[in-house]
Amino acid sequence: MKHLQEKAALREFGDNQIIRVSTRIMVPFIQLFGLYVIAHGHVSPGGGFQGGVLLGASYILLALAFDLKTSFKNFSESMNGILGNVGALIYVGTAVLCALVGGLFLDYSALTALLPIDPIQWRYLGVFIVEVGVGLAVMSIMLSLYWDLSSGGDMDEGL
């Protein structure tokens, strides 16, 4: 890993105005597309996993084009850990909540006990809530995998 980092430093990649400006332009659109893929997964191809990977990839692009410090400024390490845990918790929590209010585990229609709308509408909504959880977990795990693997674990400088 150190060898790869030294090789990359010798070639002076990433210190390029074109790369920086185009990354700055592309990242918001990638994130918007990631949110769209998560939220629109009911109708078009997509869902939590794909949207989460897109969101994570936008931050990885920032870390590649600038450096790890810049990506920490945009998305801090502690926030990353919190969001990853919250994402997994949203999924499992929704499932357990369904069981607690009197339905089966992961039976979203039981959530009518909390908010009395059509049970079938609750199944639609439940899938959306779960997809958001999956998206959050996948995004932060992707990003933390990149941080750890590219810096060798000391989070100082990436590739």
Partner 1 sequence: MKAIALLASVITGAVLLYGVQDFAPWADPTSPASTHVASYYIENTVRETYIPNIVTAVLGDYRGYDTMFETVVIFCAGMAVICVLRRSKS
Picking from 104, 94, 80, 85, the residue whose alpha carbon sits closest to that of residue 130 is 94
Q: How far is CA 26 from CA 22, 54, 58, 129, in A?
A: 6, 12, 8, 27
CB of 41 to partner 1, least distance (A): 5
The phi and psi torsions of 3 (rounded to 5 degrees) equal: -60, -45
For the bound state, the minimum distance from the C-beta of residue 19 to partner 1, rounded and expressed in Å, comes to 27
Nearer to partner 1, 14 or 152 (CB): 152
Cβ neighbours of residue 109 under 8 Å, at least 6 residues apart? 103, 119, 120, 122, 123, 126
Rounded Cα–Cα distance for residues 31 and 79 (Å): 17
Toward partner 1, which CB reaches closer, 70 or 144?
144
Q: How far is the CB of 13 from partner 1 (least distance, A)?
A: 23
Q: Would you tell me which residues interact with partner 1 (CB under 8 A)?
A: 41-49, 84, 87-88, 91-92, 95, 105-106, 108, 120-121, 123-124, 126-127, 130-131, 133-134, 137-138, 140-141, 144-145, 148-149, 152-155
Q: Quick one: 34 or 41, whose CB is closer to partner 1?
A: 41
**Looking at beta carbons only, is 102 or 153 nearer to partner 1?**
153
CB of 2 to partner 1, least distance (A): 14
Distance of CA 77 to the CA centre of its chain: 13
Q: How far apart are CA 123 and CA 128, in angstroms?
A: 9
Shorter beta-carbon distance to partner 1: residue 9 or 96: 96
Q: How far is the CB of 155 from partner 1 (least distance, A)?
A: 7
Chain center to CA of 92: 17
